[in-house]
C-alpha cells in the first residue's frame, strides 16, 4: 500500500534504529534501554511509529511489516514499560467503581482558572494559540474513532449495539463529508493548517504523543478492552462542555464557520453520546463482565493523567510566551506561533504561575476535548 505518510524524524537512539529498520537498512533493533523514559520522546515516538503500521502505515514501508515478529517483540517491550508507568501513576483503589469515576468526570471545578486548555483558549487564547492546539490534536482527530472501533468485536449485546451506534455517528452516519475526522480536517483548513494525516508529528511533544499511543495500546489488546471503554467514556462525558468552550473561543477569535462547526457538532452529539455510553456501553459491558469494573476505572484515570500532563506542558509554554509545538522546519502550511497576530481586546491578563499550577490540580480529566 502506498501512502503519503512519511516516517517521522527520530528523537533518540531507539526511534532512530526503528526508522532505519523500516527503511530496510542493514541495521538491527537495539535492546530496550533499561533507563528509557516511558513518557519520553524517544520511546513514545517509537511506539507511535509501531502503532501506525496498524493504521495507514508509511510511504515506502511494506504492508507486511505490520506483523513483523521482531517489530512486535520490540513493541511488546515498549508497551510493558508504558503500561507499567500508567498503572503506577493512575492507581485504582479496591473500592473504586466505574460509576463513581464517571460521576467525578462531570464535576466542573469552581473558580476562574481550572488549568484546562479549553478554559485558557476561551478566556485568554489567540487564534495562533488555537492553531497550535489544533496541530497538537491532529494526530488523534484525523483518525478519530478508529482506535475505539477495535473494541467492537470484543463486546456483546447491549454494549456492542450501543458502541456501534455511537461509532456510526463518529464515522458520519454514512456520509463521508460528515466523518468527524473530516470535520477536523475542515477545521484545520479553516485555520490555515496542513490537513495531511500525520503531518505535524515532528512538531508534537511526547506528552501529546502519549495521549495517542495509549488509545492504540488499549485498542489493540483484548485484555485491555475495559480500559479502552473507560477511555472512550471519558472522551464522551467530557467532550460536550469542553467543545462548547472551544466553539465560543473560535467565535471570539473570528475563525471561520468550518472551524466553529467541528466543536458545535460535538456539543450536541456528545451530550447524547454521554448518556448512551454510560447507560448502555459501560453498563452493558459490566453487566456481562463485572470483573472489568476496575479496568474501566483505570482507563478513565489513565486518560486524566495523560491529559493533565499535556495541559501542564502546553500552558507552561503559552504562559511564558513560547510555542507549545517543537521546532519543525517546513512542516507548517504557514508559521504556527504565539506571535498574537490576532490579539483579543477582551482577553484577561496573562496567567500567573501560581494560578496555573493551582488549576492543574483542580482540572481533573476534563481536558481530552480541551
216: pLDDT strictly greater than 80: yes
Cell of 265: 457538532
Please say whether the beta carbons of 136 and 208 come within 8 A: yes
- Burial environment of residue 248 by CB neighbours within 10 A (0 to 12, 13 to 18, 19 or more): middle
Checking if the pLDDT of 218 tops 80, the result is yes
Residue 361's pLDDT is what? 29
Among residues 222, 233, 252, the alpha carbon closest in space to that of 156 is found at 222
Q: Are 147 and 214 in contact (CB under 8 A)?
A: no
How much of the chain exceeds pLDDT 90, in percent?
75
Least confident of 155-164, 259-268, 297-306: 259-268
Is it the case that residue 107 has pLDDT exceeding 80?
no
Residue pLDDT, tens place only, 159-197: 999 999 999 999 999 999 999 999 999 999 999 999 999
> Which residues have C-beta within 8 Å of that of residue 126, sequence separation ≥ 6?
253, 338, 340, 341, 342, 343, 344, 347
Per-residue model confidence (pLDDT) at position 3: 62
User: pLDDT tens digit string along 316-363?
Assistant: 999 999 999 998 643 443 444 433 334 444 544 433 333 333 333 233
Q: What is the reported pLDDT for 328? A: 64
* Closest C-alpha to 304, from 223, 237, 243: 237
The pLDDT tens digits of the residues spanning 50-68 come to 999 999 999 999 999 999 9
Higher pLDDT, 122 or 113: 122
Report CA dihedral (160, 163, 165, 167) to the nearest 10 degrees. -130
Domain positions in the chain = 13-89, 98-362
**Predicted pLDDT of residue 109:** 58
Q: Give the model's confidence band at 96: pLDDT under 50 very low, under 70 low, under 90 confident, else very high.
A: very high
Look up residue 368 and give its DSSP letter.
S
H-only helix segments in 5-68 = 13-22, 41-52
Which of 105-109, 237-241, 337-341 is predicted with the least confidence, judged by mean pLDDT? 337-341
What's the Cα-to-Cα distance from 107 to each of 101, 114, 233, 244, rounded to whole Å?
11, 12, 15, 16
DSSP 265: H
**pLDDT (0 to 100) of residue 270:** 62
* pLDDT value for 106: 79
Q: Which of 288, 318, 311 is nearest to 367 (CA)?
A: 311
Cα–Cα distance measured from residue 359 to residue 239, given in angstroms and rounded to the nearest whole number: 19
Query: Tell me, what's the pLDDT at 349?
Result: 40
Please state which of the ranges 23-32, 211-220, 331-340 shows the lowest mean pLDDT.
Answer: 331-340
Phi-psi region of 110 (alpha: psi -120 to 50; beta: other; left: phi over 0): beta
Q: Does domain 98-362 have CATH number 3.90.1520.10?
A: no
Q: How far apart are CA 103 and CA 99, in angstroms?
A: 6
**pLDDT for the residue numbered 29:** 85
Identify whether the C-beta of residue 84 lies closer than 8 Å to the C-beta of residue 38.
yes
**CA 146 to CA 345: how far, in whole Å?**
40
CA atoms within a 13 Å half-sphere pointing along the CA-CB vector of 278: 19
Question: For position 230, what pLDDT does the model report?
Answer: 98
Residue 272 banded pLDDT, cuts 50, 70, 90: confident
At 111 the pLDDT is 46
Residue 8 pLDDT exceeds 80: yes
* Cα separation, 47 vs 231, whole angstroms: 19
Amino acid at each position: 500500500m502506498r501512502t503519503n505518510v512519511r516516517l517521522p524524524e527520530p528523537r533518540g537512539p531507539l526511534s532512530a534504529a526503528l526508522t532505519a529498520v523500516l527503511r530496510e537498512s542493514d541495521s538491527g533493533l537495539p535492546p530496550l534501554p533499561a533507563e528509557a523514559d516511558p513518557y519520553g520522546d524517544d520511546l513514545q515516538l517509537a511506539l507511535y511509529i509501531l502503532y501506525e503500521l496498524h493504521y495507514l502505515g508509511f510511504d515506502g514501508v511494506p504492508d507486511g511489516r505490520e506483523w513483523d515478529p521482531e517489530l512486535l517483540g520490540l513493541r511488546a517491550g515498549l508497551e510493558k514499560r508504558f503500561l507499567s508507568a500508567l498503572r503506577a501513576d493512575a492507581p485504582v483503589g479496591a473500592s473504586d467503581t466505574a460509576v463513581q469515576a464517571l460521576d467525578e468526570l462531570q464535576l466542573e471545578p469552581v473558580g476562574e482558572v481550572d488549568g484546562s486548555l479549553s478554559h485558557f483558549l476561551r478566556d485568554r487564547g489567540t487564534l495562533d494559540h488555537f492553531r497550535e492546539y489544533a496541530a497538537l490534536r491532529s494526530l488523534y482527530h484525523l483518525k478519530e474513532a478508529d482506535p475505539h472501533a477495535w473494541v467492537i468485536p470484543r463486546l456483546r449485546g447491549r454494549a456492542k449495539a450501543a458502541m456501534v451506534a455511537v461509532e456510526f455517528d463518529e464515522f458520519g452516519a454514512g456520509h463521508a463529508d460528515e466523518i468527524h475526522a473530516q470535520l477536523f480536517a475542515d477545521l484545520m483548513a479553516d485555520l490555515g493548517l496542513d490537513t495531511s494525516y500525520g503531518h505535524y508529528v515532528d512538531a508534537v511533544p511526547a506528552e501529546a504523543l502519549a495521549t495517542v499511543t495509549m488509545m492504540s495500546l488499549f485498542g489493540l489488546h483484548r485484555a485491555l478492552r475495559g480500559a479502552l471503554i473507560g477511555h472512550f467514556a471519558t472522551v464522551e462525558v467530557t467532550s460536550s462542555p469542553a467543545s462548547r468552550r472551544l466553539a465560543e473561543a473560535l467565535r471570539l477569535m473570528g475563525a471561520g464557520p468550518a472551524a466553529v462547526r467541528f466543536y458545535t457538532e460535538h456539543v450536541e452529539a456528545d451530550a447524547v453520546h454521554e448518556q448512551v455510553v454510560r447507560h448502555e456501553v459501560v453498563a452493558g459491558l459490566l453487566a456481562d463482565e463485572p470483573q472489568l469494573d476496575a479496568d474501566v476505572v483505570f482507563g478513565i484515570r489513565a486518560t486524566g493523567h495523560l491529559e493533565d500532563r499535556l495541559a501542564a506542558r502546553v500552558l507552561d509554554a503559552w504562559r511564558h510566551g513560547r510555542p507549545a509545538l517543537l521546532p519543525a522546519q517546513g512542516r507548517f502550511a504557514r508559521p504556527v506561533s504565539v506571535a498574537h497576530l490576532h490579539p483579543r481586546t477582551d482577553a484577561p491578563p496573562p496567567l500567573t504561575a501560581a494560578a496555573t499550577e493551582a488549576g492543574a490540580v483542580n482540572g481533573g480529566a476534563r481536558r481530552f476535548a480541551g
